[in-house]
Amino acid sequence: MSLSGKVALVTGASRGIGAATAKRLAECGAAVGVNYFTSQAPALAVVDEIVRTGGKAVAVQADVRVPEQVASMVKNTVSALGPIDILVLNAGANVPLKLFAEMTTEEFENKVMGELRGFFHPLKAVIPAMIERKTGCIVGISSGLSRHPGPRFSAHTTAKSAVDGLMKSLALELGQFGIRVNTVAPGLTITDATSWMPAEQRDAIGKMTPLRRVANPEDIAGAVAMIVSDDAGFVTGSYIPVSGGQLML
Ligand SMILES: NC(=O)c1ccc[n+]([C@@H]2O[C@H](COP(=O)([O-])OP(=O)(O)OC[C@H]3O[C@@H](n4cnc5c(N)ncnc54)[C@H](OP(=O)(O)O)[C@@H]3O)[C@@H](O)[C@H]2O)c1
Protein backbone atom coordinates (compact mmCIF):
# COMPACT_ATOMS: atom_id res chain seq x y z
CA MET A 1 0.00 0.00 0.00
CA SER A 2 2.32 2.75 -1.19
CA LEU A 3 1.35 6.33 -0.48
CA SER A 4 4.65 7.59 -1.76
CA GLY A 5 4.44 11.17 -3.05
CA LYS A 6 1.11 11.82 -1.29
CA VAL A 7 0.42 14.44 1.35
CA ALA A 8 -1.97 13.62 4.19
CA LEU A 9 -3.50 15.85 6.86
CA VAL A 10 -4.78 14.02 9.96
CA THR A 11 -6.86 16.02 12.44
CA GLY A 12 -6.43 15.22 16.14
CA ALA A 13 -3.15 13.41 15.49
CA SER A 14 -1.34 14.18 18.75
CA ARG A 15 -2.77 11.12 20.53
CA GLY A 16 -4.78 7.94 20.13
CA ILE A 17 -6.23 6.87 16.79
CA GLY A 18 -5.06 10.05 15.01
CA ALA A 19 -1.43 9.64 16.14
CA ALA A 20 -1.40 5.97 15.06
CA THR A 21 -2.94 6.94 11.71
CA ALA A 22 -0.40 9.70 11.08
CA LYS A 23 2.45 7.22 11.75
CA ARG A 24 0.88 4.48 9.60
CA LEU A 25 0.33 6.81 6.62
CA ALA A 26 3.94 8.01 6.97
CA GLU A 27 5.17 4.38 7.03
CA CYS A 28 3.34 3.93 3.71
CA GLY A 29 5.28 6.90 2.30
CA ALA A 30 2.94 9.87 2.77
CA ALA A 31 4.16 13.21 4.11
CA VAL A 32 1.86 14.01 7.03
CA GLY A 33 0.40 17.13 8.63
CA VAL A 34 -0.05 16.22 12.30
CA ASN A 35 -2.83 18.42 13.67
CA TYR A 36 -3.08 19.03 17.40
CA PHE A 37 -5.27 21.25 19.55
CA THR A 38 -3.73 21.44 23.04
CA SER A 39 -1.11 18.63 23.09
CA GLN A 40 1.87 20.25 21.40
CA ALA A 41 4.58 18.02 22.95
CA PRO A 42 2.88 14.72 21.99
CA ALA A 43 2.28 16.08 18.46
CA LEU A 44 5.97 16.99 18.15
CA ALA A 45 6.84 13.47 19.38
CA VAL A 46 4.70 11.99 16.57
CA VAL A 47 6.51 14.21 14.05
CA ASP A 48 9.91 13.25 15.52
CA GLU A 49 9.12 9.54 15.26
CA ILE A 50 8.09 9.92 11.62
CA VAL A 51 11.17 11.96 10.75
CA ARG A 52 13.53 9.60 12.64
CA THR A 53 12.24 6.69 10.57
CA GLY A 54 12.90 8.53 7.30
CA GLY A 55 9.50 10.15 6.76
CA LYS A 56 8.28 13.70 6.41
CA ALA A 57 5.84 15.43 8.78
CA VAL A 58 4.90 18.76 10.28
CA ALA A 59 2.91 19.60 13.42
CA VAL A 60 0.05 22.02 12.76
CA GLN A 61 -1.97 23.56 15.58
CA ALA A 62 -5.70 24.29 15.22
CA ASP A 63 -8.99 23.90 16.96
CA VAL A 64 -10.81 22.24 14.06
CA ARG A 65 -14.08 23.92 15.10
CA VAL A 66 -12.67 27.39 14.32
CA PRO A 67 -12.50 28.31 10.61
CA GLU A 68 -9.63 30.84 10.89
CA GLN A 69 -7.45 28.31 12.73
CA VAL A 70 -8.34 25.60 10.21
CA ALA A 71 -7.37 27.93 7.35
CA SER A 72 -3.90 28.45 8.82
CA MET A 73 -3.55 24.70 9.58
CA VAL A 74 -4.20 23.92 5.91
CA LYS A 75 -1.97 26.78 4.70
CA ASN A 76 0.91 25.64 6.94
CA THR A 77 0.55 22.01 5.84
CA VAL A 78 0.50 22.93 2.14
CA SER A 79 3.48 25.27 2.40
CA ALA A 80 5.56 22.68 4.32
CA LEU A 81 4.55 19.53 2.43
CA GLY A 82 2.59 20.39 -0.74
CA PRO A 83 -1.07 20.08 -1.80
CA ILE A 84 -3.21 17.78 0.33
CA ASP A 85 -4.18 14.43 -1.24
CA ILE A 86 -5.60 12.74 1.86
CA LEU A 87 -7.70 14.28 4.62
CA VAL A 88 -8.49 12.20 7.71
CA LEU A 89 -11.19 13.78 9.89
CA ASN A 90 -10.44 12.23 13.27
CA ALA A 91 -10.30 15.02 15.87
CA GLY A 92 -12.59 15.06 18.86
CA ALA A 93 -13.43 12.53 21.47
CA ASN A 94 -15.39 14.61 23.95
CA VAL A 95 -18.33 12.34 24.73
CA PRO A 96 -20.91 13.53 27.28
CA LEU A 97 -21.88 10.24 28.93
CA LYS A 98 -25.40 11.03 30.08
CA LEU A 99 -28.90 9.76 29.76
CA PHE A 100 -30.82 12.01 27.38
CA ALA A 101 -33.26 12.95 30.16
CA GLU A 102 -30.37 14.46 32.14
CA MET A 103 -28.57 16.19 29.29
CA THR A 104 -28.63 19.97 28.95
CA THR A 105 -29.23 21.74 25.65
CA GLU A 106 -25.70 23.14 25.89
CA GLU A 107 -24.07 19.71 26.33
CA PHE A 108 -26.02 18.30 23.40
CA GLU A 109 -25.26 21.26 21.13
CA ASN A 110 -21.56 21.32 22.09
CA LYS A 111 -21.14 17.68 21.14
CA VAL A 112 -23.21 17.65 17.96
CA MET A 113 -22.19 21.05 16.61
CA GLY A 114 -18.55 20.57 17.72
CA GLU A 115 -18.31 17.30 15.80
CA LEU A 116 -19.97 18.80 12.72
CA ARG A 117 -17.82 21.94 12.79
CA GLY A 118 -14.71 19.75 13.15
CA PHE A 119 -15.67 18.05 9.89
CA PHE A 120 -17.18 21.04 8.08
CA HIS A 121 -14.31 23.54 8.37
CA PRO A 122 -11.45 21.22 7.31
CA LEU A 123 -13.61 19.93 4.44
CA LYS A 124 -14.39 23.48 3.27
CA ALA A 125 -10.69 24.37 3.47
CA VAL A 126 -9.38 21.31 1.61
CA ILE A 127 -12.00 20.33 -0.98
CA PRO A 128 -11.60 23.28 -3.43
CA ALA A 129 -7.97 22.38 -4.20
CA MET A 130 -8.90 18.68 -4.50
CA ILE A 131 -11.60 19.60 -7.04
CA GLU A 132 -9.12 21.75 -8.95
CA ARG A 133 -6.55 18.93 -8.99
CA LYS A 134 -9.26 16.32 -9.72
CA THR A 135 -7.93 13.97 -7.07
CA GLY A 136 -8.34 13.39 -3.38
CA CYS A 137 -9.30 11.00 -0.67
CA ILE A 138 -11.27 11.86 2.47
CA VAL A 139 -11.85 9.60 5.46
CA GLY A 140 -14.26 10.45 8.27
CA ILE A 141 -13.67 8.69 11.58
CA SER A 142 -17.10 7.81 12.87
CA SER A 143 -17.99 5.19 15.49
CA GLY A 144 -19.85 1.90 15.54
CA LEU A 145 -22.20 3.77 17.87
CA SER A 146 -23.56 5.66 14.85
CA ARG A 147 -25.28 2.44 13.72
CA HIS A 148 -25.65 0.65 17.03
CA PRO A 149 -26.45 3.10 19.85
CA GLY A 150 -25.81 2.47 23.54
CA PRO A 151 -27.34 4.01 26.67
CA ARG A 152 -25.82 7.42 27.65
CA PHE A 153 -24.36 7.88 24.15
CA SER A 154 -27.28 9.73 22.50
CA ALA A 155 -25.33 12.94 21.77
CA HIS A 156 -22.36 10.97 20.41
CA THR A 157 -24.59 8.73 18.30
CA THR A 158 -26.42 11.78 16.92
CA ALA A 159 -23.12 13.54 16.10
CA LYS A 160 -21.58 10.50 14.43
CA SER A 161 -24.77 9.71 12.46
CA ALA A 162 -24.69 13.29 11.19
CA VAL A 163 -21.11 13.04 9.96
CA ASP A 164 -21.90 9.66 8.34
CA GLY A 165 -24.62 11.43 6.33
CA LEU A 166 -22.25 14.22 5.39
CA MET A 167 -19.61 11.72 4.19
CA LYS A 168 -22.16 9.89 2.00
CA SER A 169 -23.41 13.19 0.54
CA LEU A 170 -19.86 14.23 -0.32
CA ALA A 171 -19.10 10.83 -1.89
CA LEU A 172 -22.08 11.49 -4.15
CA GLU A 173 -21.13 15.08 -5.03
CA LEU A 174 -17.36 14.70 -5.34
CA GLY A 175 -17.01 11.40 -7.20
CA GLN A 176 -17.16 13.23 -10.53
CA PHE A 177 -13.92 15.04 -9.55
CA GLY A 178 -12.03 11.84 -8.74
CA ILE A 179 -12.41 12.40 -5.00
CA ARG A 180 -13.25 9.38 -2.83
CA VAL A 181 -15.00 9.82 0.52
CA ASN A 182 -15.31 6.98 3.02
CA THR A 183 -16.15 6.43 6.66
CA VAL A 184 -14.19 4.28 9.10
CA ALA A 185 -16.16 3.32 12.20
CA PRO A 186 -14.02 2.08 15.12
CA GLY A 187 -15.43 -0.13 17.82
CA LEU A 188 -14.13 0.25 21.37
CA THR A 189 -10.47 1.28 21.04
CA ILE A 190 -7.93 1.65 23.84
CA THR A 191 -7.05 5.36 23.98
CA ASP A 192 -7.18 8.22 26.51
CA ALA A 193 -10.81 8.72 25.50
CA THR A 194 -11.79 5.31 26.84
CA SER A 195 -9.51 5.24 29.90
CA TRP A 196 -12.57 5.94 32.13
CA MET A 197 -13.85 2.44 31.41
CA PRO A 198 -13.05 -0.17 34.09
CA ALA A 199 -10.73 -2.92 32.82
CA GLU A 200 -13.36 -5.59 33.64
CA GLN A 201 -15.92 -3.87 31.39
CA ARG A 202 -13.39 -3.55 28.57
CA ASP A 203 -12.40 -7.23 28.93
CA ALA A 204 -16.05 -8.28 28.91
CA ILE A 205 -16.60 -6.40 25.64
CA GLY A 206 -13.47 -8.07 24.24
CA LYS A 207 -14.78 -11.50 25.18
CA MET A 208 -18.08 -10.84 23.36
CA THR A 209 -16.22 -9.72 20.21
CA PRO A 210 -15.73 -12.33 17.44
CA LEU A 211 -11.97 -11.60 17.30
CA ARG A 212 -11.91 -11.81 21.14
CA ARG A 213 -10.38 -8.42 21.96
CA VAL A 214 -11.02 -4.70 21.70
CA ALA A 215 -9.09 -2.52 19.24
CA ASN A 216 -5.75 -0.78 19.55
CA PRO A 217 -5.29 2.55 17.70
CA GLU A 218 -3.09 0.70 15.18
CA ASP A 219 -6.05 -1.48 14.15
CA ILE A 220 -7.98 1.63 13.08
CA ALA A 221 -4.90 3.18 11.46
CA GLY A 222 -4.42 0.07 9.31
CA ALA A 223 -7.98 0.29 8.01
CA VAL A 224 -7.50 3.98 7.14
CA ALA A 225 -4.27 3.18 5.28
CA MET A 226 -6.10 0.46 3.36
CA ILE A 227 -9.01 2.67 2.31
CA VAL A 228 -6.81 5.60 1.16
CA SER A 229 -4.55 3.36 -0.90
CA ASP A 230 -4.96 3.04 -4.66
CA ASP A 231 -5.92 -0.62 -4.09
CA ALA A 232 -9.24 0.78 -2.81
CA GLY A 233 -9.42 3.17 -5.79
CA PHE A 234 -13.03 2.24 -6.69
CA VAL A 235 -14.34 2.36 -3.13
CA THR A 236 -16.33 5.45 -2.17
CA GLY A 237 -19.34 6.17 0.03
CA SER A 238 -18.54 3.13 2.17
CA TYR A 239 -18.90 2.69 5.94
CA ILE A 240 -16.26 0.34 7.29
CA PRO A 241 -16.69 -0.99 10.82
CA VAL A 242 -13.33 -1.79 12.44
CA SER A 243 -14.62 -3.65 15.45
CA GLY A 244 -13.29 -7.20 15.37
CA GLY A 245 -16.69 -8.28 14.07
CA GLN A 246 -18.68 -6.74 16.89
CA LEU A 247 -20.64 -4.59 14.43
CA MET A 248 -21.76 -6.49 11.34
CA LEU A 249 -23.99 -4.69 8.83
N1 LIG B 1 -11.49 5.33 21.34
C2 LIG B 1 -12.60 4.74 20.92
O3 LIG B 1 -13.09 3.73 21.50
C4 LIG B 1 -13.32 5.28 19.71
C5 LIG B 1 -14.37 4.51 19.19
C6 LIG B 1 -15.06 4.98 18.08
C7 LIG B 1 -14.71 6.20 17.51
N8 LIG B 1 -13.69 6.94 18.03
C9 LIG B 1 -13.38 8.21 17.39
O10 LIG B 1 -12.02 8.26 17.03
C11 LIG B 1 -11.55 9.61 17.06
C12 LIG B 1 -10.29 9.71 17.90
O13 LIG B 1 -10.60 9.24 19.22
P14 LIG B 1 -9.47 8.78 20.24
O15 LIG B 1 -10.07 7.72 21.07
O16 LIG B 1 -8.17 8.56 19.53
O17 LIG B 1 -9.36 10.10 21.14
P18 LIG B 1 -8.17 10.69 22.06
O19 LIG B 1 -7.13 9.65 22.32
O20 LIG B 1 -8.86 11.34 23.21
O21 LIG B 1 -7.52 11.81 21.12
C22 LIG B 1 -8.30 12.86 20.68
C23 LIG B 1 -7.51 13.67 19.68
O24 LIG B 1 -8.39 14.67 19.11
C25 LIG B 1 -7.79 15.93 19.28
N26 LIG B 1 -8.80 16.98 19.42
C27 LIG B 1 -9.84 17.03 20.29
N28 LIG B 1 -10.56 18.15 20.09
C29 LIG B 1 -9.96 18.82 19.07
C30 LIG B 1 -10.21 20.03 18.42
N31 LIG B 1 -11.25 20.81 18.74
N32 LIG B 1 -9.38 20.42 17.41
C33 LIG B 1 -8.31 19.64 17.05
N34 LIG B 1 -8.02 18.48 17.65
C35 LIG B 1 -8.84 18.07 18.65
C36 LIG B 1 -6.90 15.83 20.50
O37 LIG B 1 -5.92 16.85 20.40
P38 LIG B 1 -5.13 17.52 21.65
O39 LIG B 1 -4.73 16.38 22.56
O40 LIG B 1 -3.97 18.18 20.98
O41 LIG B 1 -6.02 18.50 22.33
C42 LIG B 1 -6.35 14.40 20.31
O43 LIG B 1 -5.28 14.40 19.40
C44 LIG B 1 -12.72 10.45 17.57
O45 LIG B 1 -13.42 11.01 16.49
C46 LIG B 1 -13.59 9.42 18.29
O47 LIG B 1 -14.96 9.79 18.35
C48 LIG B 1 -13.00 6.50 19.12
Residue from 36, 139, 218 to probe ligand 1 pocket by mutation (most atoms less than 8 Å from CB): 36
The answer to whether position 1 is within a domain reads no
Q: Is residue 248 part of a domain?
A: no
Q: Which of 43-52, 89-98, 183-192, 197-206 has the lowest mean pLDDT?
A: 89-98
Could you tell me the CATH number of the domain that includes residue 219? 3.40.50.720
- Ligand 1: distance of its center to the CA of 94 in Å? 7
Full-model pTM: 0.99
Is residue 1 predicted with pLDDT exceeding 90? Answer: no
The pLDDT confidence band at residue 238, using thresholds 50, 70 and 90, is: very high
- Is pLDDT above 90 for 94? no
- The predicted pLDDT at position 231 comes to 96
Asked, for residue 247, whether it belongs to a domain, the answer is: no
Residue to mutate (ligand 1; options 183, 191, 219, 224; most atoms within 8 A of CB): 191
Asked if residue 133 belongs to a domain, the reply is yes
36 CB under 6 A from ligand 1? yes
Residue 182 is assigned to a structural domain of this protein: yes
Q: How far is the CA of 16 from the centre of ligand 1 (A)?
A: 7
> What is the residue range of 72's domain?
7-242
Q: Work out which ligand 1 atom sits closest to the CA atom of 63.
A: 32
pLDDT by residue (tens digit) across 154-213? 999 999 999 999 999 999 999 999 999 999 999 999 999 999 999 999 999 999 999 999
Is 2 contained in some domain? no
Average pLDDT, the chain: 97
Distance from residue 113's CA to the centre of ligand 1 (Å): 15
Is 111 touching ligand 1 by the criterion CB < 6 Å? no
Taking the C-alpha atoms of 39, 42, 48 and 54 in order, what is their torsion angle to the nearest 10 degrees? Answer: -100
How does residue 109 score in pLDDT terms, banded at 50, 70 and 90?
very high
Q: What integer pLDDT is reported at residue 93 of this predicted model? A: 75
In a domain, 94, yes or no: yes
Instruction: Give yes or no for residue 136 having a pLDDT over 80.
Output: yes
Which residues does residue 33 pair with via DSSP β-bridges, in sequence order?
9, 58
Cα–ligand 1 centroid distance for 143 (angstroms): 12
Q: How are strands ordered across the β-sheet holding 57-61?
A: 57-61, 31-36, 7-10, 86-89, 136-141, 179-186, 239-242
Ligand 1 atom nearest residue 190's Cα: 1
pLDDT of residue 98: 95
Number of domains composing the chain = 1
